Amino acid sequence: MSFIQNKIDRIDKYLSDHPRVKFILPQALLLIFLFSIIGYFTFNASSNLAARGIDTGFSFLKNKASFDIQFSMIEFDSSMSYARAYLVGLLNTILVSAIGIVFATLLGFFFGILRLSKNPLASGLATVYIETLRNISLLLQIFFWYFTVLRLLPSADNSIILFDFVYANIKGIYIPRFVWTNLNYFIYGLIFTFVCVYIFNKYANNLREKTGKQLPKFLISLSLLFIIPFLIINIFNVELEFSYPKLDIQMGIANYIGGVSIIPELIALAFALSLYTSTFIAENVRAGILGIDKGQKEAAASIGLTNTQVLRLIVIPQALRIIIPPTTNQYLNLTKNSSLAAAIAYPDIVLVFAGTALMQTGRAIEIVTITMLTYLTLSISISIFMNWYNKKVALTER
Amino acid sequence: MKNLIKTICGISVFAFILASCGDGGKKASTVDATKKQGFVKCGVSQGLPGFSNADESGKWTGIDVDVCRAVAAAVLGDANKVKYTPLSAKERFTALQAGEIDVLSRNTTWTLERDAAIGLTFVGVNFYDGQGFMVRKATGIKSVNDFKDGVKVCTNTGTTTELNMADFFKSKGVKYEPVVFEKADEVVQAYDSGRCDTYTTDKSGLAAQRTKLTKPDDHVVLPETISKEPLGPVVRQGDAKWEDVVRWSLNVWIEAEEYGVNSGNIDSMKESKNPAIQRIVGAEGTKNGEALGLDQEWSYRIIKQIGNYGESYKKNIADTGILPDRGPNNLWTKGGILYVPPVR
């Protein structure tokens, strides 16, 4: 026993003499341990799968998918690969998440501020909205919008027509498709316009800081935004036409062809996700604004700022610091919650890839791994962006 | 620092335990495991009338359910000793691979890809089906050739249906929009509300799901069949003994009908001089049970407790109005294609 004790003491002494080794050794051992665990599981899974005669590997991604997808932002048909189907699903997930994030933010700010209103009717309304929607399970809300509300829409031959060019029926909402000529010049023109506006604003700010002279920044920017695109449209002959959806009845089946169709699954999912998430964002906004000390507003008012200026220059910049971190969480939740799409046939990555493709190939481990890594990447990208934005608005301490 | 050394020792022991438990229990045979646990682990659908459907009291019935009951009667002596696991089309193979169930009897189509690439073995066919389309009568559509561009098609995910319809519409040059749901009930709801112009799945499924629509009489199943869908029970690859038990439980169930042995007359059939019938009733000197590792009366119990295939078909599919005409699912001797290897 004393022999072992002796050894331990010697190792001990060695380590206390070499602090660097003492610092690195435990971490290195932990790392080796983690890698061996992962390696062990991978080996175990692959040998067991082989023993059961289950094919493994990622080569299936190149195979022909042989199934179709209802709604895709890129071209897709059954002769394309599983990898392409993955891309279609991924883009659909990003689409619904992006729509959800934009509307959740707008609604969230609106109801968050409304709840602080001194008008009891307005604040009461906001309270009811927030407390109702955030306390009902999201899946139920999705079913509600899809199976109940959208189902109240009429059949295709009795569509609701808005402004003569939007047709809403149970099969979706149909809007005109834009048909552009020389679109690329228009896009270059827009980029050029934004660069001009940016440079002008920089110049105006510099001028103000140096000489104190105030240029009518807003007015000039606005006119730039109109004049340059207008010139470009006329010089380069940019044209925009609309291809209107037309009702087509064949063999007793009424459908709209032409135009762009927004499928009801996308509408229901985007609605449910935005409304649900907006309630949490509204609470973040309320917390952010209440978190600003009253003295700040009073001090701002005392140096002669108007009410709008107080809100715009003093309250909101400070409140944003409190609002952004928890709101980032809500954006992440929204993106992950979009996987509930599978319940209502919206072809997101879970339905298309972790659903149909998994089923047709039987590659459960590979496909679920890819799907999980995809969500991880999406979430981390959102986090990185929001952290960057948060740093930008954070208090700079000198 | 002594803590560090202790930690490393602890981790090594943990890793060792982890490593040793990975290999255990892999070789246990399913027949023995089933006898030990006292029930057959059977995977069924989430509710398809005629095939596998649970009533209000939670009792499962259907022609797929009867396959599992037959296995239970053969191995355990009691057709009721079955534990049913309702599975979606997507979950079914993983559940079987992972050992959550031992027999998958869930209107599953036998295809090369499934048989060869995902470690499963199809043991036979208990229903010959084909994919069809259901439409509203009011549309006046009489044939699948009447479908035009823009047609919206509702169906289930995770089935051969999705692939068949892609092939079908491609060959016809028709642009269609698939609206694909996870659960059959949601497909029915979506089709019923008018989201889709047609609903496609196996014809037996269409006939069964039609009964769930608000006005079943307003809908009609088109005459054409666009695919072959031989449906049958599935087991894991690599357990030949269990595979044999399931395969021959299925075969004897069908062969009993061929020889006119049913639940009502099987006791009197014990006196029969016909050697084929003697084998089915497990008379003295027959060796079938022994070959399968079961007792002699295994097949007697199947027919006594469940009846033969014809009785199951009549009770579950014909009398419920799903498909009164047996069509291809009749015996080969009666104009169908039901033909099983001899049980001997």
Over the stretch A260-272, which tens digit does the pLDDT of each residue have? 788 889 999 999 9
**CA nearest to B143 within chain A:** A251
Read off the pLDDT of residues B144-191 as tens digits, 9 standing for 90 and up.
888 888 889 999 887 888 889 999 998 988 889 899 988 888 899 889
Q: Which CATH number fits domain B131-227: 3.40.190.10, 3.40.50.970, 3.40.50.1980, 3.40.390.10?
A: 3.40.190.10
Q: What pLDDT shows up at residue B71?
A: 96
Domains B30-128+231-265+305-334 and B131-227 share a fold: yes
Between A3 and A279, residue with greater pLDDT: A279
- Whole-number pLDDT of residue B15: 54
In this predicted structure, the answer to whether residue B61 has a pLDDT above a threshold of 90 is yes
B25 band by pLDDT with thresholds 50, 70 and 90: very low
Q: Output the pLDDT for position B52.
A: 92
The predicted pLDDT at position A205 comes to 84
Which chain B residue has its CA at the smallest distance from A42's CA?
B22
Here the ipTM equals 0.73
Separation CA A120–CA A116 (nearest Å): 9
User: What's the mean per-residue pLDDT of chain A?
Assistant: 86
Q: What is the CATH number of domain A82-176+244-393?
A: 1.10.3720.10
pLDDT band at A293 (very low <50, low <70, confident <90, very high): confident
If you count DSSP H runs as helices and E runs as strands, how many of each does chain A have, helices first?
Answer: 14, 8
Q: To the nearest whole percent, how much of chain A has pLDDT over 70? A: 99
Which residue from B minimizes the CA distance to A264? Answer: B195
Domain B30-128+231-265+305-334 has CATH 3.40.190.10: yes
For B150, the closest of A33, A68, A255 (CB atoms) is: A255
Residue B23 pLDDT class (50, 70, 90 cuts): very low
pLDDT of A337 above 80? yes
Q: How far is A168 from chain B (nearest CA, A)?
A: 12
Asked if A356 lies within 8 A of B237 by C-beta distance, the reply is no
Given an 8 Å threshold on Cβ–Cβ distance, is A170 in contact with B193? yes
C-alpha distance from A37 to closest chain B C-alpha (Å): 8
Q: What is the model's pLDDT at position B24?
A: 42
Q: What is the pLDDT of residue A155?
A: 77
Task: Give A258's contacts in chain B (Cβ within 8 Å).
Answer: none
A255/B186 CB distance under 8 A: no
pLDDT above 90 as % of chain B = 50
Interface touch A55/B181, C-beta < 8 Å: no
- A265 chain-B contacts, CB cut-off 8 A: 179
Q: What pLDDT, on the 0 to 100 scale, is given for residue A13?
A: 83
Chain B interface, mutation test: which of A40, A46, A52, A147, most B Cβ atoms within 10 Å? Answer: A52
Q: Which tops the pLDDT comparison, B258 or A249?
A: B258
Instruction: Reply yes or no on whether the pLDDT at B291 is more than 70.
Output: yes
Quick check: B18 and A147 CB within 8 A? no
User: Looking at CA atoms only, how far is residue B139 from chain A in angstroms?
Assistant: 4
pLDDT of B316 strictly over 60 = yes
* Residue of chain B with shortest Cα separation from A5: B2
3-state SS, one letter per residue, for chain B: CHHHHHHHHHHHHHHHHHHHHCCCCCCCCHHHHHHHHCCEEEEECCCECCCEEECCCCCEECHHHHHHHHHHHHHHCCCCCEEEEECCCCCHHHHHHCCCCCEECCCCECCHHHHHHECEEECCCCEEECEEEEEEHHHCCCCHHHCCCCEEEEEECCCHHHHHHHHHHHHHCCCEEEEEECCHHHHHHHHHHCCCCEEEEEHHHHHHHHCCCCCHHHEEECCCCCCCEEECCEEECCCHHHHHHHHHHHHHHHHHHHCCCCCCCHHHHCCCCCHHHHHHHCCCCCCHHHHHCCCCCHHHHHHHHHCCHHHHHHHHHHCCCCCCCCHHHCEHHHCCCECCCCCC
Residue A1 confidence (pLDDT): 62
pLDDT of residue B88: 86
Q: Do residue B140 and residue A252 have CB atoms under 8 angstroms apart?
A: yes
Domain-wise residue ranges, chain B:
30-128+231-265+305-334, 131-227
CB-based contact B8 A29, cutoff 8 Å: yes
In terms of CA atoms, which chain A residue is nearest residue B118?
A54
For A345-360, what is each residue's pLDDT tens digit? 899 999 999 888 888 8
> What residue spans define the domains of chain A?
2-51, 82-176+244-393, 179-243
Residue B22 pLDDT grade (very low, low, confident, very high; cuts 50, 70, 90): very low
Highest mean pLDDT, choosing among A178-192, B161-175, B203-217, B245-259: B245-259
Report CB contact under 8 Å: B158, A356. yes
